[in-house]
């Protein structure tokens, strides 16, 4: 498989990667390969090859929202790290899907551009953040994205505008249509004071350090907050703070975080998520929605 992929000459190929090295939970088994296409043309070439040969595939960002299983992922993962062009013109930012979101938020903040402060603690790529409409502090990607260049399932490159992207709480058009691949985004920011923006980011970082278990591998909030409530409060009321299955623990700091405290397996993490979801449903009749995606 890897040799055939290398012969396509579409970009770097990693053979049989261990998914714990590519996800923020640090769990998961191996995949057949990871490919880093170095152009849109080569991405299309790769996708056509995978489609013709009926090979399962998935776009992988920073792995901050995915939980692979402990067994082999019988497919190819595609990382768009090479799609990292960045252009800033006044308040308009045009950026590739593979660009690191934290890096981008810090860069624009230092330039005195406001609107992306909420993303300074979200460890994803621009494409991944748009896909799931990542957000924090009552803001999200839907507030700043004006348009996105995408590759359609028919290999056409089209532009989707904000209204087309159907941004809602932690979801988007792209999440509902995963065959559309985000290539590049245009975001509109506002002029602000660089020092004030950096102070906000520093203050929020300090707050995160105090309230979130950043010292352990995790994938951030596990569940979406139900309407007019907080998932963390419900889990804490359930008495689940500190509860563990194997090496996976409900954080003592923040009950809506599951952390890999002691060489957890993907099965440990998944089983703990499923157990919490089941218990919350039994006790409160609330169907908590899992923010993370199980990949098999």
Active site residues: 170, 221, 291
- Main-chain dihedrals φ then ψ at residue 5, nearest 5 degrees: -65, -40
For residue 265, what are the CA distances in angstroms to 71, 126, 132, 133? 11, 28, 25, 28
Give the separation between CA 278 and CA 32, rounded to whole angstroms: 33
Q: Name residue, tokens 């609330």.
A: 286
Q: Please state at what angle helix 101-110 crosses helix 194-211, rounded to 10 degrees.
A: 140
């Amino acid at each position: 498989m890897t040799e055939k992929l290398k012969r396509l000459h579409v970009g770097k190929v990693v053979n049989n990667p261990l998914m714990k090295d590519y996800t923020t939970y640090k769990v998961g088994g191996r995949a057949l390969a990871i490919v880093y296409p170095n152009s849109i043309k080569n991405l299309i070439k790769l996708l056509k090859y995978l489609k013709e040969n009926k090979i399962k595939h998935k776009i992988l960002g920073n792995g901050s929202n995915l939980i692979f299983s402990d067994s082999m992922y019988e497919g190819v993962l595609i990382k768009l790290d090479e799609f990292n062009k960045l252009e800033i013109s006044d308040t308009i930012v045009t950026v590739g899907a593979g660009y690191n979101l934290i890096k981008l938020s810090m860069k624009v903040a230092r330039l005195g551009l406001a609107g992306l402060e909420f993303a300074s603690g979200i460890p994803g790529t621009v494409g991944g953040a748009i896909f799931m409409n990542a957000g924090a502090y009552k803001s999200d990607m839907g507030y700043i994205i004006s348009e996105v260049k995408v590759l359609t399932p028919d290999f056409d490159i089209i532009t989707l505008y904000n209204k087309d992207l159907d941004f809602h709480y932690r979801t988007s058009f792209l999440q509902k249509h995963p065959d559309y691949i985000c290539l590049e985004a245009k975001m509109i920011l506002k002029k602000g004071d660089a020092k004030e923006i950096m102070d906000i980011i520093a203050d929020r970082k300090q707050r995160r350090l105090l309230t979130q278990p950043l010292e352990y591998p995790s994938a951030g909030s596990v569940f979406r907050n139900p309407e007019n409530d907080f998932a963390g409060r419900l889990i804490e009321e359930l008495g689940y703070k500190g509860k563990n299955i194997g090496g996976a623990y409900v954080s003592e700091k923040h009950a809506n975080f599951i952390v890999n405290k002691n060489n957890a397996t993907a099965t440990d993490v998944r089983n703990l998520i499923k157990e919490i979801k089941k218990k919350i449903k039994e006790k409160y009749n609330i169907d908590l929605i899992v923010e993370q995606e199980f990949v098999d």
